[in-house]
Amino acid sequence: MPAAELIGLAALGWVASPAVAKLLSEGFTSLGMMMINTEKRLAKLESTIFPVFEVVLDAAERSPHRPKVMKWLRRLKSAFHDAEDALDLLDYQRLKRKAAAASSRRRRRSIITIARVRSLFRPLLRGSRNVLSSRKIKLMRRLSKLEAIAGEAEKLRDLLGVQPDRTAARDGRQTISLPPRGVFGRDSDCEAIIRLLETKHRQEGVPIIAIVGRPGVGKTTLAQYVCERLTSEFGNKHFDLVVWVYASRNFKASEIMKNIIQQASAASEPQSPVNPNDLPAVIRAHLRNLDMMAVDNIDSDEVLQRKMDEKLNSKKFLLVIDDVWCDGEDHAHNWDTLLRCLSKCSLGSKILVTSQTNDAPRKMGTAAENIYVLGELEEDDFLDLFIHHALNGEGIDPSVREDLEKIGKTIARRLDRDPTAAKIVGLCLQDKLQVRYWTETAEKDWSDDKTKALMWSYQHLPAHLQRCFAYLNLYPKGYKFKDLEVFQFWMAQGFIKPAEQDARMEDVGSRYLKELVSRFYVQSHGSYYTLHELLYDLAEKVTCDDCLKIEGNHQKKIPATIRHLCVPASKLKINQEEICKLKKLRTLIVTSGEESIASKGKVATGIFKSLRRLRVLVLELNLENLAEFISELKHLRILQVSDISKFVLPKSACTLYQLQVLRIKSARSIPKCLDNFVSLRYLEPPVVPDIGKLTSLQGLEIFQVRKEKGYELEQLQNLNELRGRLRIDSLENVESKESAIAANLKEKKYLDMLQLVWRDGEDNVNSNLDVEILEGLQLPPNLTSLILDGYRGRSCPSWPEHQTSDIQELTLERCRMLEELPPMEQLYPSCRSLELCNLSKLKALHTLPPSLRKLTILITPVLTFVTKEDLQMSQELKASIKQVMRNRMQKWFPRQNQEDLVPKGREMRDFLVTMNGSDNDASSPGHTSIPADIDRWLRLHEQKMELIYSRRNEAKLLLPSTLTELWLEECSITNRALSACLQNLTSLTTLSLGDIRTITRLPSADVLGKLTSLQAIILRGCWAVTSLGGIRSLPHLKELYLSGCPCLDSKDAFLPPSLESTDFLCCANVDDILANADLPRLSRLTITQCHMRTASLQFGNLPSLHSLRVGHCPGLSFSVDVQELHSLEFLILQNCTNLQAVMNLPKSLRSLVIRGCPILEKQSVKSDSGVHMLGGFPVEQ
């Protein structure tokens, strides 16, 4: 069959499907009694006409009557769209009446009587009925036409000479799950690439290795296989970090750098449990990395480079860049920027790229010997790949399987050894394991065009998936699209048709997307999706009559049949005449270009006024004359305007009754008639008046309460379709409990996360109203996460247990008047994570949820944990503790910054005031010089300790055995209380203690030895700690982070041999600790701002150490001796201003960085090549 005819059948095949039956059913239902014998007519179509569709399509492939079938399909498609548009206009009128009814109810206070209104508007109403009747008549005619054309299938069946008993339901297949990943025939290629990566290169900058080959040959799969082998078989022998980025034709250097920074940050989390420069990061280290959140807002290449240097410093990395292009000056400039920014990275780092041609890698500076041309798979390997996907199921009869494998060899030979085709065709055949069907498939002619096999597979996709996949052709090649974005486009075009009446369209769209991923039509990358190059070609071919994408300077003729168009702004004027003729256009995406059309209003107006069937309008520019045509777009579902300048949405837009998505960046004003948007599901920006009128709204992450009309809390009353997250801000503006009840949160069954925020900062006000408001809010029934931020009540609200029983994450933050918590085991039985942050008056924590996994207590200065044994201590023992604290403070105090001392001093003073009701020393430390204030600090701290040990009753921290993470910071807990709370926590993996100035040692081996799952300990700002207790008894401790422990005694610091990563920051006697250390598994060691007992740094048994970093240690004035570090690969010495020598550098060393060490820098010798050398190793400065 000629390729054009094959494409025609594939492109039109979706319309000869149950989609016609569904549209006819919807249309007949809308017409009501106007259609005669509706049920009988539909039943006839279902039983006699629609089963013929697939028979006709299959027979047409082998018949000389193909042109007649294609002509019929085009007529059927045109009739389908016409009927769909007519039905859509009928829905528009229905929604218009709904909006008008709501509006009339608000105008009842008019001085005109009802009778007068009727007399005035009777002619208009009569005319309205006539218009509506004409629309119904028009729909009836179009449905009848569609029905008649569909009925012609029987005549075509007779013409083709086929029978209906060969049919099968095209949409009857089940979703195919992704088969186990397998790589066939690429072991030798993988080993060759690894050898190139292992080769030492003398060229400047980071060496580039390239995998080059045709589209679909398996370049990406090979690169993934290489990365998998490197990590699974070699560990970190070759690279400390592997970063994967996808470039494509539209890449930008800044985006790749951001990707590198984010992946490097994520990879470093397990090794660096906290960020020493950011206090909140200590507590939230396992939830998010602040760098990953902030990097998206960086625009400067210089700032990105510094950030990237910071993340990659001392790391030998492999950067994989998939799908590289270098077509013009813009590409060349971006690659030059990226490679220049990477030029100073550690020796041994490599870049691995994939590309379709040799040209791009060569322009990037890849040496000829480093370009690996990937050939086709061997025939046997390709057959194994095909059979793996085609016959992957179990339960196949052995004799049938043998026959299918023989036929499969014939099919595989016709696929031209294309791995993508093997996967897609194989999965398609997996549905029909009949010898006859496979034999017919083996007779297909797929020669001369690699997409023919894919085209055949596309024809066998269910019709709804065909339409959804084809629409993705509007995206540029390499575009990374998000799932919700795609769902909204599919919804706007009517592609999503839920089988169940109450099914949410976004949920159905999610199932569609998963099906396309499972069938290899779409590639999933976790948070985004892409299309393979060959699949883009396929999508372009099957939509050649429907979709057109004009890119760059390429000029294309626009066919009159186009329904979906993506065009640069600069091409609007050039193509104005052609675009104006596209009367049936449904999608128009105008991308920003070099030339703006903001000043060419007449051009734009002329275009848009003629495009009345638009359902999607995306403008990457600002059209000031939008008001002139927007009201005519009665079918519009998506209006998206993104432009730097402020945009004004005209009042005329309020007639867009079918609008589902309104997304306007930098909106200057929004019209007040929002209640007309009765179909709106997503709105940006969310802060608009009278938002409560948008009862279909689903996406609203923030609602801000104001003391203005239209912003009251009651606006949430009818927004019961809200889903996911909701943050209610500025609750201090709520004036009564009745307002909270009216918000009707208990009816919002789709919300799973709720954040309630008060912002006025009145910490010393006991607001009974806050309690009433919380009780009135009545939590959503399916809530799993609750955050109270800034709540001002002294006690928590008495919510019914059924409202809180499913909550898994509970956070109380800035609730500074809160003195006690409710019975947690009763109200929150399912809670897994509890975070108490900045609760300055919380005195006790009596019970905890029974299934708690993570507990975070941060900045709760009054909260105290003490045992009965502590309270029974003698006065002599208390006096000795007081003296020990005094001695240790003498070491700690001079090392503190003035800015840090002031808030800590206030916290101690507030503790005293809260505990005994008096303020013996009202002046806060930190307002005069530090030496003058140390006595005051001592006095306050001693008063605090006296109050702790003088309590009447014990207060233990009773932790459930399910706990895996414990984070305590700026609260008071004694040595005995800490030991008591850790008893029997066999599931605990992380223990973090920060700024706790009441403990002097970690628990003994009897306690710590039972913590068999503990892997990380973090001590930060615990300046009174002198001993690490029984830490050596921890069998599986991997990470130790010690910061601000100046009194640590090296005699009691015996570290466990299981350690793999250790950080010392602002600690004492580190040289003694390391000189006697026996840490056979330690691979990473960092020493920063530490005091040394001697002027030299030597190491004990550290045979596995591969990374050593020493910085800001001015007391290190003689040498660093690394003779015993036989595995050391990375050595970084920074800002050790008095360091005189680094001795006995091992042969294993790969990277030596010396910065801010003037004596050492003078010792380095500049070689003929311009590289500084020290001890035979190149120095990075």
Tell me, what's the pLDDT at 720? 93
User: Among the three residues 544, 566, 592, which one is the final residue of a domain in this structure?
Assistant: 544
Asked if residue 139 is part of any domain, the answer here is yes
Angle of helix 66-105 versus helix 114-151 axis, rounded to 10: 170
Tell me, what's the pLDDT at 988? 95
Given a cut of 60, whether residue 896 has pLDDT beyond it is no
Tell me, what's the pLDDT at 600? 42
Max Cα-Cα span within the chain: 110
Tell me, what's the pLDDT at 833? 95
Tell me, what's the pLDDT at 313? 66
**259 and 323 in one domain?**
yes
Tell me, what's the pLDDT at 287? 40
Query: Mean pLDDT over all residues of the chain?
Result: 80
What is the DSSP secondary-structure string of 472-493? GGGSPTT--B-HHHHHHHHHHT
**Domain CATH number, residue 479:** 1.10.10.10
Helix %, strand %, coil % of the chain (to 5)? 40, 15, 45
Tell me, what's the pLDDT at 131? 45
Q: Residues 342, 206: contact at Cβ < 8 Å?
A: yes
**134 and 198 in one domain?**
no
Given a cut of 50, whether residue 274 has pLDDT beyond it is no
* Spatial distance between the Cα atoms of 113 and 151, rounded to a whole number of angstroms: 55
Contacts of 302 (CB under 8 A, 6+ apart): none
**357 and 238 in one domain?**
yes
In this structure, the number of other CB atoms found within 10 A of the CB of residue 514 comes to 16
Phi, psi (deg, nearest 5) at residue 659: -65, 130
Q: Residues 3, 447: contact at Cβ < 8 Å?
A: no
Q: Choose the most confident range, by mean pLDDT, from 11-25, 394-408, 568-582, 814-828.
A: 814-828
**132 and 197 in one domain?**
no
Q: What is the mean pLDDT of residues 1045-1066?
A: 87
Q: How far is CA 1167 from the centre of its chain?
A: 47
Q: Which of 785, 759, 760, 788 lies closest to 774 in space, CA to CA? A: 788
Tell me, what's the pLDDT at 394? 67
Asked if residue 174 is part of any domain, the answer here is no
Q: Which of 1117, 1162, 1161 lies closest to 1140 in space, CA to CA? A: 1117
Write the DSSP symbol of residue 955. Answer: B
Given a cut of 60, whether residue 632 has pLDDT beyond it is yes
Pairing, β 990-994 against β 965-969: parallel
**146 and 29 in one domain?**
yes
Tell me, what's the pLDDT at 914? 58
Phi, psi (deg, nearest 5) at residue 1165: -115, 130
Asked if residue 408 is part of any domain, the answer here is yes
Tell me, what's the pLDDT at 918? 47
pLDDT per residue over 444-477, tens digit each? 766 666 667 778 778 878 888 999 999 999 988 8
pLDDT per residue over 406-435, tens digit each? 888 888 887 878 787 888 788 778 877 888
Q: What is the mean pLDDT of residues 627-654?
A: 81
pLDDT per residue over 341-371, tens digit each? 877 666 778 899 998 878 788 888 888 888 8
> With the C-alpha atoms ordered 959, 963, 964, 969, is the resulting torsion angle positive or negative?
negative
Tell me, what's the pLDDT at 752? 92
Of the given ranges (79-83, 1046-1050, 1106-1110, 1159-1163), which has the lowest mean pLDDT? 1046-1050
User: Among the three residues 394, 428, 461, which one is the final residue of a domain in this structure?
Assistant: 461
**8 and 140 in one domain?**
yes
Q: Residues 332, 326: contact at Cβ < 8 Å?
A: yes
**420 and 352 in one domain?**
no
Asked if residue 662 is part of any domain, the answer here is no
CA angle 347, 348, 351 (to 5 degrees): 110
Tell me, what's the pLDDT at 961? 93
pLDDT per residue over 831-875, tens digit each? 999 999 999 888 888 889 999 999 999 989 889 999 988 888 777
Percentage of the chain lying above the pLDDT 90 cut: 24
Q: What is the mean pLDDT of residues 610-624?
A: 83
Q: Which of 1039, 1044, 1052 lies closest to 1024 in space, CA to CA? A: 1044
Write the DSSP symbol of residue 727. Answer: E
Of the given ranges (238-242, 770-774, 780-784), which has the lowest mean pLDDT? 238-242
pLDDT per residue over 141-169, tens digit each? 898 899 888 888 888 888 887 765 433 33
**156 and 96 in one domain?**
yes
What is the DSSP secondary-structure string of 1089-1152? S-B-SSSEE---B-TT--EEEEES-TT--SEEE-TT-TT--EEEEES-TT--EEE---TT--EE
pLDDT per residue over 962-993, tens digit each? 999 999 998 889 999 999 999 889 999 999 99
Contacts of 126 (CB under 8 A, 6+ apart): none
Asked if residue 984 is part of any domain, the answer here is no
Asked whether the bond before 685 is cis by omega within 30 degrees of 0, the reply is yes
**386 and 362 in one domain?**
no
Asked if residue 981 is part of any domain, the answer here is no
For residues 817 and 501, the model is more confident at 817
Radius of gyration of the chain (CA): 36
Q: How confident is the model at residue 639 (pLDDT cuts 50, 70, 90)?
A: very high
Write the DSSP symbol of residue 45. Answer: I
SS (H, E, C) 819-878: CCCCCHHHHCCCCCEEEEECCCCCCCCCCCCCCCCEEEEECCCCCEEECHHHHCCCHHHH
For residues 29 and 446, the model is more confident at 29
Q: Which of 472, 478, 492, 475 lies closest to 525 in space, CA to CA? A: 478
Given a cut of 80, whether residue 603 has pLDDT beyond it is no
Q: What is the mean pLDDT of residues 671-700?
A: 83
Phi, psi (deg, nearest 5) at residue 1110: -125, 125
Q: What is the dihedral of CA 538, 542, 548, 549, to 10 degrees?
A: -10
Angle of helix 187-198 versus helix 219-234 axis, rounded to 10: 70
Q: How confident is the model at residue 383 (pLDDT cuts 50, 70, 90)?
A: confident
- What is the number of structural domains in the chain? 6
**433 and 492 in one domain?**
no
Q: Where are the beta strands (DSSP E) in 26-97?
A: none
pLDDT per residue over 731-757, tens digit each? 999 989 999 999 999 999 999 999 999
pTM of the entire predicted model: 0.72
Tell me, what's the pLDDT at 593? 58
CA distances from 318 to 227, 238, 321, 331, 342 (A): 9, 9, 10, 22, 12
**142 and 27 in one domain?**
yes
Range of the domain at 1116: 1069-1181
**Residue linked to tokens 């998939």:** 322
pLDDT per residue over 110-132, tens digit each? 444 444 444 444 444 444 444 44
* Spatial distance between the Cα atoms of 934 and 912, rounded to a whole number of angstroms: 18
Tell me, what's the pLDDT at 315? 75
Tell me, what's the pLDDT at 555? 66
The token pair at 890 is 């003498």
User: Among the three residues 338, 373, 408, which one is the final residue of a domain in this structure?
Assistant: 373
Tell me, what's the pLDDT at 129? 45
Of the given ranges (71-80, 592-601, 603-612), which has the lowest mean pLDDT? 592-601
**362 and 402 in one domain?**
no
For residues 10 and 748, the model is more confident at 748
Q: How confident is the model at residue 830 (pLDDT cuts 50, 70, 90)?
A: very high
Asked if residue 832 is part of any domain, the answer here is no
Q: What is the mean pLDDT of residues 1024-1041?
A: 91
Asked if residue 412 is part of any domain, the answer here is yes
Q: Choose the most confident range, by mean pLDDT, from 139-143, 353-357, 488-492, 1071-1075.
A: 488-492
* Spatial distance between the Cα atoms of 22 and 29, rounded to a whole number of angstroms: 11
